[in-house]
Amino acid sequence: MAQHDSAVLLISCPDARGLVAGVSGFLYAHGANILSTDEHRDDATGQFLMRVEWDLDGFGLGREDFAAAFEAAVARRFRMDWRVAYSRDRLRVAIFASRQLHCLADLLHRHHLGELPGDIRLIVSNHEDAAPLAGFYGVPFFCTPVAPETRAEAEARQMGLLEEHGIDLVVLARYMQVLSPGFVARFPARIINVHHSFLPAFRGARPYHAAFERGVKLIGATAHYVTEILDDGPIIEQEVVRVSHRDQLEDLIEKGRDAERLALARAVRWHLEHRILLYGRKTVVFT
């Protein structure tokens, strides 16, 4: 796909006549070449959500002028919550991992291939296992061991690293530690976790064991934003794999790894491309 120097506008507001015309007319009036646009109306709440991307070549408003002009001409009239992002401003990513490295390896490889439009600035782990992988891809690695009696100190060091590197997005790639409410509050809707089950089924630390005991016919993985409540954040993406009575626990775990990789990679990419809008406990993903 061709790469554009583009801007993305994300909008959430009560539905009203003339919304799309107002946004597109404003962009057209300032010389925008719209690359893509997508909308969704939630019938239950009457909420309207929109994503529009346009090429900045020939666009008549600079960054410093866009906000005031759009607010005055369109946003205030329709009571919009909105934000604009620019493709040149690549988001800075930190990946947290533990000893299971399949999701970390997948993200690093996709980033190496150019599939993830962000900058992976560091890898943080509570074990040393990921150090060789980080070294292979040339990403700074930091080990912060976590024990019940040192959890606060470990999180303080982690948050210091995130601030030092100006991190925009934290990705939990099978990081097998529960983050404190204070940590989560520092990065609202900016922490993505992958849980190895099809949420809301089988929450907690051993979902494959629980699924095997119940004899399920489908297993899955869920990528979601992290909130203070464990495994309860807004769901971004899910992937499923069919299993049968012939599959043992080890087979479920092996097959589940593929689902985990796919769900997490899609969620991270969509966040980096500014394709996700949150409302309530849900997400709308414009793909």
Q: What pLDDT, in 10s, does the model give residues 202-249?
A: 888 899 999 999 999 999 999 999 999 988 999 999 999 999 999 999
**CA-only gyration radius of the chain, Å:** 21
CA 49 – CA 20 distance, rounded (Å): 10
CA 7 – CA 59 distance, rounded (Å): 10
Q: In the prediction, which pLDDT does 1 show? A: 46
Query: Span 6-86: which CATH code?
Result: 3.30.70.260
pLDDT tens per residue across span 137-176: 999 999 999 998 999 999 999 999 999 999 999 999 999 9
Distances (CA, A) of 97 to 44, 105, 219, 247: 38, 10, 22, 27
Q: Which of 38, 43, 81, 231 is catalytic?
A: 231
Cis peptide leading into 148, omega within 30 of 0? Answer: no
Q: In the prediction, which pLDDT does 27 show? A: 98
pTM of the entire structure? 0.95
For residue 256, pLDDT beyond 90: yes
pLDDT tens per residue across span 66-80: 999 999 999 999 999
- 231 labelled catalytic: yes
Q: 173 near 264, Cβ under 8 Å? A: yes
Q: In the prediction, which pLDDT does 204 show? A: 82
pLDDT category of residue 280 using cuts at 50, 70 and 90: confident
CA 184 – CA 38 distance, rounded (Å): 30
Domain boundaries, the chain: 6-86, 91-285
CA 212 – CA 190 distance, rounded (Å): 32
Cβ within 8 Å of residue 232, ≥6 positions away:
200, 203
pLDDT category of residue 4 using cuts at 50, 70 and 90: confident
For residue 46, pLDDT beyond 80: yes
Task: Tell me the mean pLDDT in the region 6-33.
Answer: 97
DSSP character string of 47-93: EEEEEEEEE-TT-S--HHHHHHHHIIIIIHHHT-EEEEEETTSPEEE
**Closest among 233, 252, 146 to 194, alpha carbons compared:** 233
For residue 128, pLDDT beyond 50: yes
Q: Which CATH architecture has domain 91-285?
A: 3-Layer(aba) Sandwich (3.40)
Q: In the prediction, which pLDDT does 112 show? A: 97
Distances (CA, A) of 213 to 32, 221, 242, 254: 56, 17, 16, 16
Q: In the prediction, which pLDDT does 205 show? A: 81
Task: Tell me the mean pLDDT in the region 4-29.
Answer: 96
- Backbone φ and ψ for 3, nearest 5 degrees, come out as -95, 130
